[in-house]
Amino acid sequence: MTEPPNPPPYGQPQQQEALPGCWWHPGRPTGLRCVRCERPACPDCLREASVGHQCIDCVTSAQRQQQVQSVAYRKAGYGARTVVGARVPQWVVVVPLLIAINVVVYALTAFQAGSVMDNHLSPVFEDGVLWPVAIVLFDEWWRLFASGFLHYGLLHLAMNMIALWVLGRDLELLLGRIRFLAVYFLSMFAGAAAVFVFGATNTGTAGASGAIYGLMGAILVAVLRLRLNATAAIGIIVLNVVLSVSIPGISLLGHIGGLVAGALAMIAMVFAPEKNRAAYQAGAVAIMAVALVGMVVYRDVELFDQLCAYPALCGV
């Protein structure tokens, strides 16, 4: 057996191993090291980081590298992304542009009709209003979209444009411009398709309400996805649906069609997998658009057969 070493005399400290000196202050012994470069450093030369303490040189180097990457990202067009993968736009552009187009079209129809309230008597209005018979007999397919920029009177225009401004600003910031336009026009088309497929053939319909209701559905899905309080969004939708049912002359089919399409499109936007997200989103929108086109074509053939039961209507 070996005997333990003799302890030092009472009152004298036990000899310790010599500690290395700080890289920047050699006269300061330290037992600390930088987690990145592993050089010894005193507490004054270390900075706290998410993975431990780093020396001042490593912190400065990381900051410079981050600045270089930020500049490169900006030059390459990268930036902050929203939950749908869109770059956050600095300015709301699409919504004011859509409002301006609607106002200009209304001003043109009011000028042609010579009346602010009876602008539906304008030739432009008559050529663009959603009239199913004209689509079936004369192949005037543009009415499915042109009707979304026409309004019956100043009050109809004002209500829709206020709603577009209130709902559209936040959605454009969340979706980005391209995705926002996709949701807007898909909802507009869905509202018109619902009227054409399920509505009366001899009734004219116009207004941006289908697209507006699509934005309502998109807002509701976004609020649920972000886990925000959905009470206000649900209340707005319920109130507008009740008004659509209660007030005569309002196209409930157009509103419901736009609402459903906007909600479905937004589901595709916010729940698409992160990998190849843009491709999934574009594919979902394309599938919905093709499905709507199929419904419209089927209804067109059906209505043509019904209308041509009266030879005079088909020019026979």
More confident residue, 76 or 152: 152
Entry pTM? 0.73
DSSP string, 37-55: T--B--GGGEEEETTEEEE
Q: From residue 132, how far is each of 106, 199, 247, 261 by CA, in Å?
A: 22, 9, 23, 21
Residue 68 pLDDT exceeds 70: no
Fold classified for 94-314: Rhomboid-like fold (1.20.1540)
The pLDDT of residue 15 is: 46
Q: What is the mean pLDDT of the chain?
A: 85
Residue 94 has pLDDT above 90, yes or no: yes
Give the pLDDT score at 310: 62
Could you tell me which residues are beta bridge partners of residue 310?
none
Among 258, 263, 178, residue whose Cα is nearest residue 217: 263
Are 230 and 223 contacting, i.e. CB atoms less than 8 angstroms apart? yes
Q: Is the pLDDT confidence value at 238 over 80?
A: yes
The mean-pLDDT minimum among 63-67, 101-105, 185-189, 236-240 falls in: 63-67
**Do 221 and 265 meet the contact criterion of CB atoms below 8 Å apart?**
no
d(CA 85, CA 277): 7
For residues 14 and 116, the model is more confident at 116
Q: Percentage of the chain with pLDDT > 90?
A: 48
Please give the pLDDT value at position 282: 95
What's the CA gap between 83 and 106, in Å, rounded? Answer: 36
- Which band of pLDDT confidence, cut at 50, 70 and 90, is reported for residue 217? very high
In the predicted structure, residue 10 carries a pLDDT above the cut 60: no
Q: Is residue 73 very low, low, confident or very high in pLDDT (cuts 50, 70, 90)?
A: very low
Q: How far apart, in Å, do the first and last CA atoms of the chain sit?
A: 123
pLDDT at 137: 85
Task: For residue 155, count CB atoms less than 10 angstroms from its CB and return exposed for 0-12, middle for 13-18, buried for 19 or more.
Answer: exposed
**Contact at 8 Å (CB) between 41 and 33?**
yes
pLDDT above 70 covers a percentage of the chain that reads 87
CATH 1.20.1540.10 range(s) for the chain read 94-314
Q: Which of 10-19, 259-268, 307-316 has the highest mean pLDDT?
A: 259-268
More confident position, 258 or 71 = 258
Name, in order, each residue with C-beta under 8 angstroms of 268's C-beta and a sequence gap of 6 or more: 280, 281, 284, 285
**Which among 59-73, 99-113, 124-138, 193-207 has the top mean pLDDT?**
99-113
Using 50, 70 and 90 to split pLDDT, how confident is the model at 234? confident
Element (H, E) at 243: helix 231-246
Alpha-carbon distance 181 to 33, whole Å?
54
- pLDDT score recorded for residue 184: 97
Q: How far apart are CA 137 and CA 118, in angstroms?
A: 27
Residue 258: per-residue pLDDT = 95
Categorize the per-residue pLDDT at 35 as very low, low, confident or very high, splitting at 50, 70 and 90. Answer: confident
> How far is residue 96 CA from its own chain's centroid?
16
Report the DSSP beta bridge partners of residue 81.
Answer: 87
- Which of the residue ranges 2-11, 105-114, 137-146, 196-205 would you say has the lowest mean pLDDT? 2-11
